[in-house]
Amino acid sequence: MKMRKGLFTAVLLAATAVSGLVGAGEKVRWAHVYEPSEPYHQWSEWAAQEINKRSNGRFEVEVFPASTLGKEVDLNQGLTLGTIDIIYTGQSFAAQTYGPLALSDAPYVFRDFDHWQKYTRSDLFAEFAEGYRQASGGNVILGDAYYGLRHVTSNKPITKPADMEGLKIRVPNAPMYRLFPEAAGAHTSPIAFAEVYLALQQGVVDAQENPLPTIKAKKFYEVQKYIDLTGHVTGSNLLVAGGIFWNRLSEEDRELFRSVAQESADRVSADIAKSEAELVEWFRGEGVEVLEVDRAAFRAVTLPLLNGEVATWTQDQFDRLQAIR
């Protein structure tokens, strides 16, 4: 009798332990480098709640913002090690594993926002995602979220390529960022980001380029007369699930994560596109001259340079991207 009672107790304790694990849900770690106030985090939190709800509590997703789990290089390494399950990462980081992904970071490869959106749903993007999956040992791209257009700020009006002839412009220290201004005849200077405001103020450089939210946050408009809407780079970030995490999911659960992740990325994109339009009016309200430019003319002088030595994609891949309508 005592033996049967002891056996019953052991079974009950084991069942309770299993029940506790199921009730808590499988822990999923989702990490990124963006601030809690930004759409990237807000819609990641929404996705975490949706996954928990749609899985009836089988998954408990915790989102770690603002580089809590490390910088982007650390997050990408975490996917490989299985210590992080889902991340947002820039195209350039993913391109270190699979080069063709960098194509979408090249200047003027997209005609407009609609062209970028169609690319993210194209066969070409699907092929890039599969190439990245194979090269990364199983990491899966779940979505692509808009980050914003990069624009020039300057102390003289710039509306066409000739206006940039001889201009001294600060750019990040990478060949890809030099392509656009040098194609238009400008001289590039890779000044450290923390020193850009002072360099503009002192006239070390005449101009710089960044997305509108960065121009506002770093107050570059205080030391520049014009914001020239060149829109030369269409920035975006990939939403990626690690191979170790993905391989333990059933096909049904994979579809759940794909669906919620894509919806989350779409909502990020919509929010950021809306905020860009609002920022144009905000800058004008601050007395800054915001200029529309002849982007077609800038594209015409830039695109011929994109398949040179900096290219990590093929001519065919470039041509297919341009053919998307």
What is the average pLDDT across 33-62? 96
Helix (H, G, I), strand (E, B) or coil at 20: helix
Range of weakest confidence among 17-31, 130-144, 166-180, 221-235: 17-31
CA 159 – CA 295 distance, rounded (Å): 8
Question: What one-character-per-residue DSSP string does 65-117 give?
Answer: -TTTT--HHHHHHHHHHTS--EEEEEHHHHHTTSGGGGGGGSTT--SSHHHHH
Residue 59 near residue 22, CB atoms below 8 Å: no
Per-residue pLDDT tens over the stretch 195-244: 999 999 999 999 999 999 899 989 999 999 999 999 999 999 999 999 99
Residues of the chain by 3-state class (helix, strand, coil), percent to 5: 55, 20, 25
Residue 9 has pLDDT above 50, yes or no: no
260, HSE (Cβ side, Cα atoms, 13 Å): 22
Q: Is the pLDDT score of 24 beyond 90?
A: no
Contact 295, 168 (CB under 8 A): no
Residue 35 contacts by C-beta under 8 Å, 6 or more apart in sequence? 41, 65, 66
Q: How far apart (Å, rounded) are the C-alpha atoms in residues 124 and 96?
A: 18
For the chain, list the domains and their CATH numbers. 26-323 (3.40.190.170)
Mean pLDDT to the nearest integer, 166-192: 94
Give the angle 300-296-163 at the CA atoms, nearest 5°: 80
**Contact residues for 155 (Cβ-Cβ < 8 A; gap 6+):** 206, 207, 224, 225, 226
Whether the per-residue pLDDT at 2 is higher than 90: the answer is no
CA angle at 112 for the pair 109 and 115, rounded to the nearest 5°? 75
